[in-house]
Amino acid sequence: EDTGPGGTYARLAELGYKPVHFREEIRSRMPSKHEAAQLSISAGTPVILICRTAFADEGRPVEINEMTLDAASYILEYDFDA
């Protein structure tokens, strides 16, 4: 469903739950039969699993987004200060 301009995070902010911090857990594995069919990939193509949690002030989790990606089609790039 279309959440409108600004997407889900804009709707959360309107409700007073603006995300201020994100955490991602990343794993990889071989796909299940269902995942391979849904992603139109062979059973031998690994998938990347990303679980992103968005947090509002005071560490309150406000969204969990679970993604399954075809590992051969994505590059994950992270840029952060030490």
Number of folded domains that form the chain: 1
| Tens digit of each residue's pLDDT, the chain (82 residues) | 889 999 999 999 999 999 999 999 999 999 999 999 999 999 999 999 999 999 999 999 999 999 999 999 999 998 988 8
* Whole-number Å distance between alpha carbons of 27 and 74: 14
Cα-based angle 9, 11, 15 (whole degrees, multiple of 5): 110
Residue 10 lies in a domain: no
Residue 49 lies in a domain: yes
Residue 2 lies in a domain: no
Residue 7 lies in a domain: no
Residue 30 lies in a domain: yes
Residue 53 lies in a domain: yes
Residue 4 lies in a domain: no
- Which residue range(s) make up the domain with 75? 19-82
Are 26 and 49 contacting, i.e. CB atoms less than 8 angstroms apart? yes
Residue 5 lies in a domain: no
* Whole-number Å distance between alpha carbons of 35 and 30: 9
Q: What CATH code is carried by the domain that includes residue 75?
A: 3.40.1410.10
CB neighbour burial string for 4-13, b if at least 16 within 10 angstroms, e if fewer = eeeeebeebe
